[in-house]
């Protein structure tokens, strides 16, 4: 009686065709930031309600609205990424779940980087610099670098910034989110950046309220 051999792909197959280091990645733990700031659930709602009785200058209004919306989205994306990273440990080497992790990581990168871009614009209007109390300038630079990379995959391919045989520019390891040419964004930096973002979102709301009084 003939038996059919069952092929089981090894580490090299996974790392060549899906992501470097996927063969031993077993998930990661991120801190819960659902209560990073007492007002974080209400930033946008409070801002909208304030406009009923107070006029916000043109430019400041649009930038603040966008910054608060992106900040909310960044926290929501972080919560989904945190949950998915924790769950992945129960299904290691699940390609579908790993690709979903990368999706969530890029969504978080996008909203967080865009929120900081809007913060920069508001700081410029107010002629105030950023006070780095949670995230360092280096962490912000690394975040922006990863965000730019996620937007410009065709240019990176054309510029030979993919190292063969890497199939993706990002992957996870025990320390954080890794890329071949732009270094490592540590898991600890994820929380530092969001705490910084929470502080800035609240400070912009306070600035608007102070300007209206």
- What digits encode the pLDDT tens for the residues 28-66? 999 999 988 888 888 888 788 777 777 777 888 899 999
* Residue extents of the structural domains in the chain: 37-212
Task: Determine the average pLDDT of the residues in 194-198.
Answer: 95
Structural tokens at position 20 = 């470097």
Interatomic CA distance for residues 146 and 138, integer angstroms: 12
Q: Is 55 exposed, middle or buried (0-12, 13-18, 19+ CB in 10 A)?
A: exposed
The pLDDT assigned to 159 comes to 62
Interatomic CA distance for residues 161 and 26, integer angstroms: 27
What is this structure's pTM?
0.86
Q: Which residue has the higher pLDDT, 4 or 143?
A: 143
The pLDDT assigned to 77 comes to 97
The pLDDT assigned to 5 comes to 56
DSSP 27: -
């Amino acid at each position: 009686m003939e038996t059919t051999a069952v092929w089981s792909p090894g580490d090299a197959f996974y790392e060549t065709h899906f992501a470097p280091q996927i063969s031993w990645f077993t998930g990661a733990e991120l801190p819960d930031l659902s209560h990073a700031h007492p007002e974080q659930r209400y930033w946008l709602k409070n801002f909208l309600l304030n406009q009923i009785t107070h006029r916000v200058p043109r430019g400041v209004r649009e930038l603040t609205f966008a910054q608060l919306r992106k900040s909310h989205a960044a926290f929501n994306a972080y919560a989904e990424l945190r949950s998915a990273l924790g769950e992945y440990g129960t299904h290691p080497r699940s390609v579908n779940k790993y690709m979903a992790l990368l999706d969530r990581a890029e969504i978080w990168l996008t909203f967080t980087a865009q929120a900081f871009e809007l913060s920069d614009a508001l700081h410029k209007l107010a002629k105030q610099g950023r006070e780095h109390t949670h995230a360092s300038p280096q962490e912000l630079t690394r975040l922006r670098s990863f965000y730019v990379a996620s937007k410009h995959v065709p240019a990176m391919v054309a510029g030979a910034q993919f190292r063969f045989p890497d199939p993706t520019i990002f992957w996870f390891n025990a320390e954080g989110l890794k890329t071949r040419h732009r270094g490592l964004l540590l898991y600890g930096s994820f929380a530092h950046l969001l705490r910084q973002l929470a502080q800035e979102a609240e400070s912009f709301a306070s600035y608007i309220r102070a300007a209206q009084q």
